[in-house]
Structure 1
Amino acid sequence: MDPEYFTSYNMCWGTLGTVRPFPGFHADRDAMEIREALESKNVVTLLRILTNRTNAQRQEIVKTFEEQTHKDLAAALKKCLSGDVEVLLLELLMPPVQYEAYRLQQAMAGLGTDEETLMEILCTRSGPRLQEIRATYKQLYKKDLEKELKGETSGDFAKLILALLNKSDTAGGVQRDIESLSASLSGKKADAGPWINILTSRDLDHLNKVLTGLELKNGQTINQTVEKHFSGDFRLGLSVLVQCIQSSDVYLAKRLASMKPSFVHGIMVSHSEEDLLCIRAAFVKLTGTSLYSALQKQFKGDHLQALLAVCRSED
């Protein structure tokens, strides 16, 4: 799909997501159907409704269901479902900002930290959105997200993570930034400071000019530069950040290509109403197959049907 397609699609549909408002929506009717489906364990009906409504519509269903039954819909789904399909439908029920706070919490839960999932969310969300997520995290988990991230990371990677959490666009000259990044590589050990400062505080258009200029100056790609001069978690984090600056769609498509359920859920649920069509197009270009077909090869049963419903169609 070319950019002109996306422009026309955006004008016609008002979204680059795959899930759009269900026409003729009635929360009362949906809540009643869901109640009956739960009683009869009719998973097909649950999937049909919950994957064909926007998150805002799902929130109305949740509220109406509780008014009708005096029960929590998420708790009712847990009793009826199991496995990955249960996880996916429960994730679809979460409000978007709550879901991203949940993903961050899960990335830090238990032994070890999922650094790349932290980076994925922090790199692909705006500063204002991240502050909403931070406030929601505090409300849900009674902990400060910045302190939690600081406790789970260290060194230059921790500085990068915290800079992304608190990012805001500030002015800077393209040539000056190119020179600053180039100079940071000239010592015996590369200086991470300018990379953190510049790459977390400029807009995407500016940063792409800076990265392109640095590639021309150094005679190698930014990825090669990052691999050569940095190491450990910071190299991973910087690599993810650079990929997201160059094209978040391509980066997210790469994550989807792993077909790891938690990655697939996280990206498809988070982006289903925003830009999943763009990610689907990047996936085709990257892998030579559609996301729809790739899901069919990897998953099965009700879980597959739910994922296909969110994906929507072949490319």
Structure 2
Amino acid sequence: MTETMCWGGLGSLRPFPVFQPEKDVADLEAALEQKDVSALVRILANRSNAQRQSLAQTYLSVTQQDLRARLKKVLNGGLEELMLGIMMTPEQFEAQRLRRAMEGLGTDEETLLEILCMKSPEQLSHIAAEYSKEYQRDLEKDLLSDTSGEFSLLLVALLKKKHVAGQVDQDVRVLCEELNNNKADVAPWIQILTMRDPDHLKSVLIHVEAERGQPVTADIEKRFGGIFSRDVRLGLQILVRSIEDPHRYLAQRIQTMKGPVMQGLIVSHSEEDLLAVRAVYKKETGRSLYTTIQDKFKGDIQQVLLAICRSED
């Protein structure tokens, strides 16, 4: 991720304009010694990810200590988790979100789908490599072992998605024919929705909706409505929503008001497209994401998220 990607684009978090790594490191060291959590938050939450990585390197060079390890000794609980999260590279952060979605009892299917649907093939390749490096595990194998059936096939196809050229009218015909067949078949949906570029797929879905006279998500609801099809139905519907309007999908996901979901999404998209998500969220709910964070979170966690969100809308 470049220093300029986040500003002039759709990211909310921009590089700190007068970035002085040596001064920041001195201030961080003083804050760590004094256990001044507010100062740590003020410095780190107001730097871009690339600047934080630079700070970690400079801190190591100056003090011969690992900044993340020092933060662990001073912070605790949810704030520790959030601050260590923003100190990760984007690939490390997404790898951690994927791992946590599959750890323990139960699987967080919606977080798996959010990441696999929203990230580009190149991003997913880097995330999978970081996952392997960090956890000594294979992401594809973990997805297969943690899920089953057609849902597993969808997740792996998303992980390996490509942008292969195709004809819009042909893809429309294939999907409409599948919907008209007596027996539901997820294969054409997976094949097409994970093998075309987003603009192509938006056009395909617009034409399918026009042909069928109802939203594609409604067709999927009916087509894969059985109790044993719950996961693949959810997966296809989220995939379609993320293609049709990715920022609306993310804004609606924030509306679940689940703390970990909101934090993960805000950090994940802070330097990519959070400005666009903020705009849709305000349009849909009538209140800003900034105000929502103020109401939902307290203390230093609130301050970190507000710094990332940046401003009122």
More moved, 66-75 vs 132-141? 66-75
Mark the runs of 5 or more structure 2 residues left unpaired by the alignment.
none
- What is the number of equivalent residue pairs in this alignment? 306
Match of 1:270 in 2: 268
Match of 1:311 in 2: 309
The offset of 1:11, in angstroms, is: 11
Distance in 2 (CA, whole Å) between partners of 1:78 and 1:200 is 40
Match of 2:294 in 1: 296
The offset of 1:58, in angstroms, is: 0.4
1:52-84 alpha-carbon deviations (Å, 9 max, x no partner): 111111011111222222222112112211222
The answer to whether 1:24 aligns with 2:32 is no
Q: 2:254 aligns with which of 249, 253, 256?
A: 256
Distance in 1 (CA, whole Å) between partners of 2:100 and 2:5 is 36
Match of 1:284 in 2: 282
Conserved? CA contact 2:6–2:272, under 8 Å: no
**What amino acid is aligned across from residue 213 of structure 1 in structure 2?**
H
The offset of 1:88, in angstroms, is: 1.1
RMSD over aligned Cα atoms: 1.6
Q: 1:227 aligns with which of 208, 221, 227?
A: 221
The answer to whether 1:209 aligns with 2:207 is no
Distance in 1 (CA, whole Å) between partners of 2:68 and 2:49 is 14
More moved, 126-135 vs 78-87? 78-87
Matches within 5 A, 1:124-273: 124-230=118-224, 231-273=229-271
Percent sequence identity is 52
Mark the runs of 5 or more structure 1 residues left unpaired by the alignment.
1-9
Distance in 2 (CA, whole Å) between partners of 1:225 and 1:242 is 11
Matches within 5 A, 1:37-186: 37-186=31-180
Secondary structure of the residue aligned to 2:13 is: coil
Q: TM-score, normalized by length of structure 1?
A: 0.94
**What amino acid is aligned across from residue 151 of structure 2 in structure 1?**
F
Secondary structure of the residue aligned to 1:211 is: helix
Distance 1:23 1:111, change over 3 A: same
Distance in 2 (CA, whole Å) between partners of 1:258 and 1:38 is 35
Secondary structure of the residue aligned to 1:185 is: helix
Distance in 1 (CA, whole Å) between partners of 2:24 and 2:297 is 27
**Aligned structure 1 segments of 4 or more residues deviating by more than 6 angstroms:** none
